[in-house]
C-alpha cells in the first residue's frame, strides 16, 4: 500500500473476515499500527467464519497488532484472544454493531458499563441511524460516558456521513473510513474523512 494512500490516517483496521487468504501482516504493520478483527456474521461479518476460524485468524495477528476488536456479545468465546492480547500488550476494543437500528440510551449505556467491567481499553459502537433522534442518542452517549473509558461512536445509513463528522468532533476516539471500498452505508473514504476532520477541528 502506497504511503500517499495513508496520508492523514493513523491506523488501519484489518478485517480478517473479508480477506480471501491470510495477509502478510508484517508488511502491513510496517505502514501503520493496525486493528485486527474477524467479525462475527451476526455483527456484519463476511464469509460465515466459525468461532474456531476466528480464533485462528486473530491468534495469528497478535504478534503484529496494536489493537484487537472483539465483539462484546462474544466476549466469552473469544476469551483466549483476550488473554493473548493482555500478555502481549495489545489493546482491546470491545465492540457492538447494530445494522438495523440504534438501541435506547439505556441499552447502550448497559453495554458501555459491561465493556468497562470486562476491562476493555476502548468501547466501540456502530449503529444504523433511521432518524435524527438516533444521532442525538449517540451524541448523548458520548456526553454520558467519555469519563468512563475512551469510546468510538459512529452511525451507518443515510445519516452516517454527517454523523461521523459530528461524533468525531464531539469526542469519538476512533473514526473510521474506507481504503478499498465502503463496507457499510455512510462511511467516508478515509483520506477525505481525515481532511474534513482537520477542517472542523
User: How many Å apart are CA 103 and CA 133, to the nearest integer?
Assistant: 11
Whose CA is closest to 16, among 55, 57, 75? 57
Please pick, among 42, 124, 140, 191, the residue that the annotation labels catalytic: 124
Indicate if 31 belongs to the active site.
no
* CB 105 within 8 Å of CB 140: yes
Q: What does the DSSP 8-state code read for residue 114? A: H
Q: State the chain's maximal CA–CA distance in angstroms.
A: 44
User: How many Å apart are CA 51 and CA 64, to the nearest integer?
Assistant: 21
Indicate if 124 belongs to the active site.
yes
User: How many Å apart are CA 95 and CA 154, to the nearest integer?
Assistant: 11
Please pick, among 26, 87, 97, 140, the residue that the annotation labels catalytic: 97
* CB 12 within 8 Å of CB 35: yes
Q: What does the DSSP 8-state code read for residue 187? A: P
Residue 104 zone, left/alpha/beta (φ > 0; ψ -120 to 50; rest): beta
Catalytic amino acids?
Answer: 97, 124
Amino acid at each position: 500500500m502506497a504511503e500517499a494512500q495513508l496520508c492523514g490516517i493513523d491506523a488501519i483496521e484489518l478485517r480478517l473476515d473479508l480477506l480471501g487468504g491470510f495477509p502478510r501482516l508484517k508488511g502491513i504493520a510496517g505502514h501503520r499500527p493496525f486493528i485486527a478483527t474477524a467479525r462475527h456474521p451476526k455483527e456484519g461479518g463476511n464469509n460465515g467464519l466459525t468461532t474456531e476460524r476466528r480464533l485462528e485468524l486473530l491468534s495469528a495477528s497478535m504478534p503484529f497488532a496494536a489493537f484487537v476488536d472483539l465483539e462484546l456479545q462474544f466476549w466469552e468465546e473469544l476469551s483466549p484472544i483476550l488473554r493473548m492480547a493482555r500478555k502481549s500488550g495489545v489493546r482491546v476494543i470491545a465492540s457492538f454493531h447494530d445494522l438495523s437500528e440504534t438501541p435506547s440510551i439505556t441499552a447502550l449505556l448497559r453495554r458501555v458499563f459491561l465493556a468497562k467491567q470486562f476491562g476493555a481499553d476502548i468501547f466501540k459502537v456502530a449503529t444504523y441511524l433511521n432518524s435524527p433522534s438516533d444521532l442525538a442518542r449517540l451524541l448523548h452517549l458520548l456526553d454520558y460516558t467519555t469519563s468512563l473509558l475512551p469510546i468510538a461512536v459512529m452511525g451507518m445509513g443515510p445519516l452516517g456521513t454527517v454523523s461521523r463528522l459530528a461524533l468525531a468532533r464531539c469526542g469519538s476516539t476512533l473514526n473510521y473510513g474506507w481504503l478499498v471500498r465502503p463496507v457499510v452505508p455512510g462511511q467516508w473514504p478515509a483520506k477525505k474523512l481525515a481532511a474534513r476532520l482537520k477542517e472542523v477541528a
